[in-house]
Structure 1
Amino acid sequence: MKLNLTRRTFLAGAGTTAAMLAMPHLARASAAKTLRLAHPHPDTDSWQDAGQWMDEALKERTSGALGVQLFPNGVLGSDSTMINAVRAGTLDMMVTGNPFFTGLVPKLNVLDLPFIFKDRDHVAAVLDGDIGDELRAGFSDAGLVALATWETGWRNVTNSRRPVKTPADLHGLKIRTTPNPAHIKAFELLGAAPTPMAFTELFTALEMRSIDGQENPTTLILNSKFFEVQRYLSLTQHAFTTSPLVMNKAKFEALGEELGNTLLETAKEAAKRQRQMNTEREVTSLEALKQEGMETVEDPDREAFRAIVADTVRGDFATKFGPDLPERIAELAG
Structure 2
Amino acid sequence: MNPRRRLLRGLGAACALAAAPGALRAGAGGRVLTATDVHVKDYPTVAAVEWLGREIERGSDGRLRLRLYHSGQLGREAEAIDMARFGAIDITRVYSGALNNAFPLTQALSLPYVFDSVAHLRRALDGAVGATVLRDFARRDLVGLAIYDCGARCFYNVRRPIRTPADMHGLKFRVPASDIFMRMIRLLGGNPTPLAYGEVFSALQTHLIDGAENNLRSYHSSRQFEAARYWSQTQHSYAPDVLLMSRRSFDSLRADDRELLLDAARRSVTVMRRLWDQSEADARAAVLAAGVQSNDCDLAAFRAAVQPLLDDYHRDPAIESLYRGIRSLA
TM-score after normalising by structure 1: 0.88
Map 1:125-274 onto structure 2 (within 5 A).
Answer: 125-274=123-272
What amino acid does structure 2 have at the position aligned with 1:80?
A
Give the deviation of 1:121 after TM superposition.
2.1
Alignment of 1:80-95 (within 5 A): 80-95=78-93
CA RMSD of aligned residues (A): 1.7
Distance 2:166 2:83 in 1: 41
User: Cα distance, 1:151 vs. partner?
Assistant: 2.5
SS of the residue corresponding to residue 44 of structure 1 reads coil
Q: Which has the larger radius of gyration?
A: 1
Matches of 1:321 and 1:208 in 2, distance apart? 43
| CA distances 1:13-44 after superposition (whole Å, capped 9, x unpaired) | xxxxxxxxxxxxxxx95222111110111222
Q: Which of 260, 269, 278 is residue 280 of structure 1 equivalent to?
A: 278
Distance 1:237 1:68 in 2: 35
Are residues 29 and 91 of structure 1, via their aligned partners in 2, closer, same or farther at CA, if it must alter by over 3 Å?
closer
In structure 2, what is the Cα distance between the partners aligned to 1:147 and 1:262? 12
Task: State the SS of the aligned residue for 1:244.
Answer: strand
* TM-score where L is the length of structure 2: 0.89
| 1:66 aligned partner, one-letter code | L
Counterpart secondary structure, 2:239: strand
Sequence identity (%): 30
Structure 1 counterpart of 2:37: 39
Which amino acid in the other structure matches residue 302 of structure 2? Answer: F
Instruction: State the partner residue of 1:330.
Output: 327
- Which residue of structure 1 lines up, in the alignment, with residue 304 of structure 2? 307
* Maintained 8 Å contact 1:113/1:239: yes
Map 1:17-96 → 2, pairs under 5 A: 30-96=28-94
Q: Find the aligned partners of 2:195 and 2:70 in 1 and give their Cα distance.
A: 18
Secondary structure of residue in 2 paired with 1:153: coil
Gaps of 5+ in 2: 1-19
Residue type at the aligned position of 1:207: Q
Partners of 1:226 and 1:48 in 2: how far apart? Answer: 19
Query: Residue 103 of structure 1 aligns to a residue in which SS?
Result: coil
Partner secondary structure for residue 315 of structure 2: helix
Q: Is the 8 A contact 1:109 1:180 kept in 2?
A: no
CA distance in 2, matches of 1:194, 1:11: 45
1:158–1:215 contact (8 Å) kept in structure 2: yes
Question: d(CA) in 1 for partners of 2:249 and 2:153?
Answer: 33
- Counterpart for residue 124 of structure 1: 122
Which of 100, 105, 110 does residue 102 from structure 1 map onto?
100
Cα deviations by residue, 1:248-302 (Å, 9 ceiling, x for unpaired): 10210111221001101101111221122212222221110011121111x2111
Q: Is the alpha carbon distance of 1:11 and 1:81 closer, same or farther for their aligned partners in structure 2, counting shifts above 3 Å?
A: closer
What is the rounded CA distance, in whole Å, between the counterparts of 2:300 and 2:43 in structure 1?
Answer: 30
Aligned to 1:17: none
1:196-249 deviation digits (Å, cap 9, x = unpaired): 111122112112110001111110111000112111111211100211100110
The residue type equivalent to 1:128 in the other structure is D
Question: Cα offset for 1:11?
Answer: 11
Asked whether the equivalents of residues 143 and 250 of structure 2 are also in contact (C-alpha less than 8 Å), the reply is yes
Aligned mates of 1:321, 1:79 — CA distance in 2: 28
Matches of 1:44 and 1:207, distance apart in 2: 24
Q: Distance in 2 between matches of 1:117 and 1:11?
A: 46
- Correspondence for 1:318 among 314, 318, 321: 314
Task: Between 242-251 and 100-109, report the one with greater CA deviation.
Answer: 100-109
Over 3 Å counting, the alpha-carbon distance change for 1:42 and 1:11 in structure 2 is closer
Residues in 1 aligned to 2:105 and 2:212: alpha-carbon distance in whole angstroms = 24
